[in-house]
Structures are given as structure tokens and as C-alpha cells.
A and B are shown apart, each in its own frame.
Chain A
């Protein structure tokens, strides 16, 4: 069974647009702080701070290389976070499918009764 607690950290980490951009960059391969600082026009300490949050959330890991400590994407927590969104979506999709059925019935009964112009339908 999944412990949902660590998802708090995941969602908090994902809430920041810069961190999402960093993750998107890391999706195409690992990168050092220096390599990340450049495209994002950020100082290295600022990048490091974001990486720390991402690392705490388990979204990335840092390499052992002393000099570079490259950051790399960890797919699993991200997959879990999207899975929660997917679960939420599925709940509502189930519900909306019942609404589809109901709307089909309403349309059919309207057609059966002979549809009138829209203007006559207020109540």
C-alpha cells in the first residue's frame, strides 16, 4: 500500500514553475548545477536551492562525482504524483459517464415528444 505522506513533498516541489522546468530539462539527461544555471539565467546557489527541494521530494538524485554532482530525474515519485491526478480524473470520468447516459435519455425523450424551438423551452 502506498503511504501518501511523501506526496506532500512531491506536490510542493512540483508547485514551482522553475522546478518543473528543471525537471523537464533533466528528463533529457542529467546535468550539473552549472549546466542548469545557464539556460535558466539563475545563480548557481539559486539552482542548488531548487535542487535541494527536488532531492528532498525524491524527484531527483545527485551523482557522486564530487565536482559535478550531476542531478538526475527519479521517475517513480513523479509517476505517483501523476497517478493521483489520474485517479482523480477516473473518479470524475466514471461519474460523467452516468451523466452521458442521462443526457442521451433526455435527448431521446425530447425527440420523441417533438422538439420545439429553443425559445419555447424556458421555465
Chain B
């Protein structure tokens, strides 16, 4: 695998999940992909879920609203408010789900740094408590993760390994 581009997920504090990923594009394109509805709808969300609603009022204090529709018609909506916008390097917004699968509101920070035409994107999600953070880690995008459970089963099988010491 290409190490430099592999997604890193870390939990540097009790309330945060931090993801770091390198993209082979200048950061203004990455920033656009993150903030323009016509681009965001093309990538954000679970596999096989389409983005039915993607409204973005990209101003500090402006709201955004996303709704995804699953293969069986189930919808999942979320939204929030932009707190900080520094194009093309930083975006801070709140996030709340309509049908909350975790308690309260979380704060998302996207930080983009560019070097030689490639961009490192660091997203930090700050939850209200450690319990909430852990619950999120344990339910990757809850709905529509049946395939994920299959993969988890495979992972566990391989993690267990062959050794069983007496």
C-alpha cells in the first residue's frame, strides 16, 4: 500500500477523533470539494447512499443541511452551522444528526495544508464526552454497515491469529 496516502485515524484526546489523509491535488480543489454542493454530493457518504439534499450557506453563522438516501429508501439527515471559514485552509462547523445516533452536537474542524501540489487534510471531530466519542467509533455510520460487520468479522478472524497458548 501507498503509506503516505493511507488514512490515519487517531484519538489524541478522550473526546476527539482525528483523521489525516493526503490528496494528490492542490488544497483549493480539496476545499472546493468539501464546500460546493455539486462536488460534495459526488463523494461524501456511505457507499450506495446518495446525497438527496446538500444545501450549503458558506458564511460564518450560515447553515448547511445534508440528507442521504439509502438503497431501501431510508433517509438520514444532518446539519449544522459554519463557525469559521478560511478558504482554502480551514473550515469549522457544528454537526447534529436528525435522528441522533450520538448525544448532542459535535464540532468538526477541517485543516488543509499544501506541499508541492499535494494536500494533507486533517479532520478533527470533537464530541461532548468520551462516551459519545467511543459510541461513534463503535458504530461506523451506523445504518447500512451490514457489509462493515462482515468485514469486521473477517478482521477479527485474522486478528485472532493462529496461536492459542495453553
A98 interfacial by beta-carbon distance below 8 Å: yes
Contact B137 A11 (CB under 8 A): yes
Which of A34-42, A47-55, A62-70, A83-91 lies at the interface? A83-91
Contact A100 B141 (CB under 8 A): no
Closest CB-CB distance, A123 to chain B, in whole Å? 9
* Given A102-B43, A103-B33, CB of A92 within 8 Å of CB of B19: yes
The listed residue with most B CB atoms (<10 A of its CB), out of A76, A82, A90, is A90
Cα(A63)–Cα(B161), bound, Å: 23
Contact A94 B47 (CB under 8 A): yes
Residue in contact with B141 in the complex, picked from A11, A80, A86, A91, CB distance below 8 Å: A91
Closest CB-CB distance, B157 to chain A, in whole Å? 10
Contact B134 A92 (CB under 8 A): no
Cα(A86)–Cα(B152), bound, Å: 8
Q: Which A residues fall within an 8 A CB radius of B?
A: 1-2, 4, 7-8, 11-12, 15, 75-76, 79-80, 82-96, 98-104, 106-107, 110, 118, 121
B52 interfacial by beta-carbon distance below 8 Å: no
* Given A2-B152, A2-B156, A79-B156, CB of A102 within 8 Å of CB of B137: no
Contact B7 A89 (CB under 8 A): yes
Q: Which residues of B contact A106 (CB under 8 A)?
A: 25, 29, 32-33, 39
Contact B159 A107 (CB under 8 A): no
* Given A79-B160, A87-B151, CB of A98 within 8 Å of CB of B29: no
Q: Which residues of B contact A11 (CB under 8 A)?
A: 134, 137-138
> Which residues 4-61 of B sit at the A interface, judged by CB distance below 8 A?
6-9, 11, 14, 17, 19, 21, 23-25, 28-30, 32-33, 39, 42-47
Residue in contact with A89 in the complex, picked from B9, B30, B130, B149, CB distance below 8 Å: B9
B100 interfacial by beta-carbon distance below 8 Å: no
Task: Sort chain B's interface into a size bin.
Answer: 35 or more
Contact B156 A103 (CB under 8 A): no
Q: Which residues of A contact B131 (CB under 8 A)?
A: 8
Contact B24 A84 (CB under 8 A): no
Contact A83 B155 (CB under 8 A): yes
Cα(A99)–Cα(B35), bound, Å: 13
B148 interfacial by beta-carbon distance below 8 Å: yes
Contact A15 B14 (CB under 8 A): yes
The listed residue with most A CB atoms (<10 A of its CB), out of B28, B47, B155, is B155
Contact B137 A103 (CB under 8 A): no
Contact A107 B149 (CB under 8 A): no
B140 interfacial by beta-carbon distance below 8 Å: yes
| Chain B residue at smallest Cβ distance from A79 | B159
24 examples of A-B residue contacts, CB within 8 angstroms: A2-B149, A8-B131, A11-B134, A75-B160, A79-B159, A79-B160, A83-B152, A83-B156, A86-B155, A90-B151, A91-B148, A92-B7, A94-B47, A95-B44, A95-B45, A99-B23, A99-B30, A99-B33, A100-B23, A102-B42, A103-B25, A104-B25, A106-B29, A110-B29
